[in-house]
Structures are given as structure tokens and as C-alpha cells.
Amino acid sequence: MSESPKVLLSTLMVLGAQSLEKAIPIDELALKLGIGVSELQVELDKLTGAGYAVTTRQAGRVRVYLTGTGVITASSAYS
């Protein structure tokens, strides 16, 4: 896995985006990471394609959270 998806996984983990109820709006996540929403979407597509994250639309905003596999993968970076 390249560096960008690892950083994104780690950031989602630290922010607590580990369930639908705690999903982070991608525009807020892009601001925290200092990147554009379109650039973030490219990275999110990689994570969702690998089964590490899920995107959903709530209250008109696209949000993202980690799957169980994403949580395990992100946690492994700390061990």
C-alpha cells in the first residue's frame, strides 16, 4: 500500500470514523488533510475498492468511515 492510503486510514482511525454513526464528511476530512475533495475522492476510491472504507450520503453530504478490515489495517500501523 502506498503512503497516501496509509495516511488516510490512520487519519480516519484517529478521528474515530469507525461506524456509520461516526462517519466524517469528506469535505471536512479534505480540509484536515490539506487536500482537495477531488484528490481525496481518488484515495477514498482505492480504500473503498479494497474494502477498508465505506462512503455514504447523509443529510446531503458524502461521509466516510472505516470497515472492520480498515480498522484492523489501520491499527496494524501502530504495532
Reported as a single tens digit per residue, the pLDDT across 24-65 is 999 999 999 999 999 999 999 999 999 999 999 998 999 999
The band of 77, judged by pLDDT with boundaries at 50, 70 and 90, is confident
pTM of the model: 0.90
36 vs 78: which has the higher pLDDT: 36
The end-to-end CA distance of the chain, in Å, is: 17
d(CA 53, CA 62): 13
Set out the domains of the chain in order of their start, with CATH numbers.
3-68 (1.10.10.10)
**Neighbour tally for 70: CB within 10 Å:** 24
